[in-house]
Homo-oligomer: A and B are copies of this chain.
Amino acid sequence: MDITKAMQAVEDAMFATVDSEVIVLRDASRHILSAGGKRVRPRLVMLSYAATGGQDSARAVPVAAAVELVHTASVVHDDINDHGYVRRGRPSVNALWGRTFALLTGDFLFTKVYELMAPYQDLNIILSEATMALVEGETLQAAAAKEGNLNRETYYQIIARKTAALFKAGAQLGAELSHATQEQIDALARYGFNVGLAFQIIDDILDLIADSAQLGKTAGLDLAQGKGVGSAYVTHNGNQAVAEQVAVADDPLTAIKQKILKGDAIQEARTQAAMLVQQAVQELDVLPESAAKQELIALAQLIIERDH
């Protein structure tokens, strides 16, 4: 399977599926999709499919598109709740079309997921459970931010649900689609889960240190709302008091950044992400050698090396 061609087919499938007679929904969906994004989730689906012997990429493409649309829908709704006005270097749907249409565009994208998944019978439950986890993770995060009560365990529960669950589902779905062995399916699910955890930890670190222009979204926003603080918890074993104090600061952004950047929290979090990636890569030992397997290894390693 040519992964570049396959990923282009995923793009085409996403654009085709968001076509609607209702112009606002079509245009807002195209806007967020054409802004790009890393497409790491659908890539996981396609590579997992190929690495377990899948040959017919057309069979996996709609599932990969569905997985990315779950993420896209959650991004659109997230920007409403976070008052995020820049996303992927462009104005958010929320900024351009307003809250009402952003909410409906998210609903539209969430529903398109199940239109794409309808032919896939037993695989539906995998994606709906991952989507459920994502919504639960976002809710835990909002609750923790509201209560100013984000400890290490809660941070882990949040990122496991809001990010790792969908990565896991993506890798698992690819293997299910190729009718891989149960051992391979389980190994890829664990691979996806650990890669997802690492991805989110790095994301939170980048949110802490990146400036707005580099990240292409309203940087520091997660932080200002007490979310990105989580990465401090990941690493500050037994010293939660500092971060808690920080989370309730009146003008939190500058203060938090300074405190965290002074310590070794970021380096510790990077180390943890690297360990997760190492575990993930080891899971791939059950797969036969292939170009797709090598790309799965590279994808995992790229996650801890990325700077945006």
Contact = CB atoms under 8 A, between A and B. Distances in A.
Interface residues of A, number: 42
Contacts of A124: 114, 117-118, 124
A115 B132 contact: yes
Contacts of A111: 110, 128, 131-132, 135
A81 interface: yes
A128 B115 contact: yes
A241 interface: no
Secondary structure type dominating chain A contacts: helix
A103 B132 contact: no
A293 interface: no
Given A24-B143, A25-B139, A140-B22, A100 B128 contact: no
A232 B21 CA distance: 25
Contacts of A129: 115
A103 B77 contact: yes
Most buried by B among A122, A125, A136, A142: A136
A244 interface: no
A122 B122 CA distance: 11
A274 to B, nearest CB: 30
A108 B135 contact: yes
A107 interface: yes
A80 interface: yes
A55 interface: no
A44 to B, nearest CB: 20
B135 A104 contact: yes
Nearest to A100: B81
A31 to B, nearest CB: 15
Interface string A86-127: 000000000000011101101110111111011101101101
B115 A125 contact: yes
Contacts of A99: 81
A186 interface: no
Interface string A74-87: 10010011000000
13 contacts: A22-B143, A24-B139, A25-B135, A25-B136, A77-B107, A81-B99, A81-B104, A101-B139, A104-B135, A106-B107, A108-B132, A108-B139, A113-B114
Given A80-B103, A103-B103, 5 more contacts: A25-B139, A81-B100, A111-B132, A114-B127, A115-B132
Interface of A: 20-22, 24-25, 74, 77, 80-81, 99-101, 103-104, 106-108, 110-115, 117-119, 121-122, 124-125, 127-129, 131-132, 135-136, 138-140, 142-143
